[in-house]
Amino acid sequence: MAPGGPPVPGRAQTALLFAHTIVVQAATFMLRPASAYRALELDVPGAWLGGLGASFAVVPLVLAVPSGHAVDRFGERRIVLAGSGLLAAAGLCFVFLADSVAGLVVASMVLGTGHLCSVVAQQALVANRTPAARYDAAFGYYTFAASLGQALGPGLIVVFGGDRPIPDTRAIFLGATVLTLPLLVAAVFLRPSGHHRQVAGPAAGGLRGLLRQPGLVRALTVSCVVLAAVDITLVYLPALGAERGIAAGSIGVLLGLRAVASMASRLLLGRLVASVGRRALLIGTVALSAAGLGLLLPPLPFWAMAVVVTVAGLGLGAGQPLTMSFLAEVAPPGLRGRAMSLRLTGNRLGQVLIPSAAGVLAAGAGAAGVLACTAAGLAGAAVAATGLHRSPTPTTE
């Protein structure tokens, strides 16, 4: 560690951060589906459900970069605390305002803002408190924790809301609100990295200087394409199954295999990078996911589909933490919050624009055509990743 650099976080701090990450994702993935169920209870037309879902992302899309700036200026702990408070407030909004569509929209916007603040600050904290030589392992564990929370959230819907077709949404809202309370305690005990007190050389140029950092735009592009590909598989793999007469339960197994494979690749990311290198692994995993989706185009027996989807899941899981590592290495101290917020902005835009374009394509080419174009996009992202190189900065801080 360089003289004057931030201390490597202790195990207790790391466990606290990852516990916070799991609970943030679990509460969010409880509240979002529950809000859709409440909308159905209110007889909201199906066409409006998309608007309700979009309300979660609209405010974060606008506030992503300012939130990153706030992290860099005020420190990670204050923004984590703000995000935790907003998540608790969102739970209360769902409890008291969800009897109307307008209330659901307001609650969803508060939820999206709280989730954004928490995630930007968490990612900046990982980047600022981890030596550069351990970025890949740290971001692999972080994204594994996020995936675990996203898997637990829907399961908690059954715990709090029962197993009826339309669960007890009020009980889910109350349960999620209670779940957010420990977040406030955890945020108080998280130690900030101290990088917000530093003045980075390129900081004077703000976002413009940050975007000029070598490889940053490429890393943002790869991250955007990979995340959009994950969203597309969630929608169009079931559509492919419907077109080919594959049972919904079988498609559910395939989606589960994809998710488990993604989590496994994140858990083992540090070892994989140590073996083959970050750049080579990113190129290989993105190309692997492209090949996996491409192999779904011809009709396959179920066992072969399971193998192909598992291979694609391994590739898709590694893309996000690897691009986080590249961004953390490229961005100097004092700008890492903004670097992570730029990534989130690009991801949100990709989640809106790319699946929308896929929907237009599906009208003429079907689900197979969408998956083919997604595979081509991933192949292009793999090519873009060849231009990424490790930064010449020291491997420790």
3-state secondary structure the chain: CCCCCCCCCCHHHHHHHHHHHHHHHHHHHHHHHHHHHHHHHCCCCHHHHHHHHHHHHHHHHHHHHHHHHHHHHHCHHHHHHHHHHHHHHHHHHHHHHCCCHHHHHHHHHHHHHHHHHHHHHHHHHHHHHCCHHHHHHHHHHHHHHHHHHHHHHHHHHHHHHCCCCCCCHHHHHHHHHHHHHHHHHHHHHCCCCCHHHCCCHHHHHHHHHHHCCCCHHHHHHHHHHHHHHHHHHHHHHHHHHHHHCCCHHHHHHHHHHHHHHHHHHHHCHHHHHHHHCHHHHHHHHHHHHHHHHHCCCCCCCHHHHHHHHHHHHHHHHHHHHHHHHHHHHHCCCCCHHHHHHHHHHHHHHHHHHHHHHHHHHHHHHHHHHHHHHHHHHHHHHHHHHCCCCCCCCCCCC
Average pLDDT over residues 63-81: 88
In the predicted structure, residue 3 carries a pLDDT above the cut 70: no
Average pLDDT over residues 293-298: 88
The whole-model pTM stands at 0.81
The reported pLDDT for the residue numbered 165 is 67
> Between 1 and 241, where is the model more confident?
241
Which range (78-87, 128-137, 357-366, 373-382) has the least confidence? 357-366
Identify the band that residue 358 occupies on the pLDDT scale cut at 50, 70 and 90: low
Which range (122-136, 202-216, 237-251, 379-393) has the least confidence? 202-216
In the predicted structure, residue 348 carries a pLDDT above the cut 80: no
The reported pLDDT for the residue numbered 178 is 93
Identify the band that residue 157 occupies on the pLDDT scale cut at 50, 70 and 90: confident
In angstroms and rounded to an integer, the radius of gyration of the C-alpha atoms of the chain is 21
In contact, 246 and 301? CB cutoff 8 Å: no
In the predicted structure, residue 202 carries a pLDDT above the cut 50: no
Which range (87-91, 127-131, 171-175, 243-247) has the least confidence? 243-247
Rounded mean pLDDT of the chain? 81
- What tokens were used for 74? 């005020």
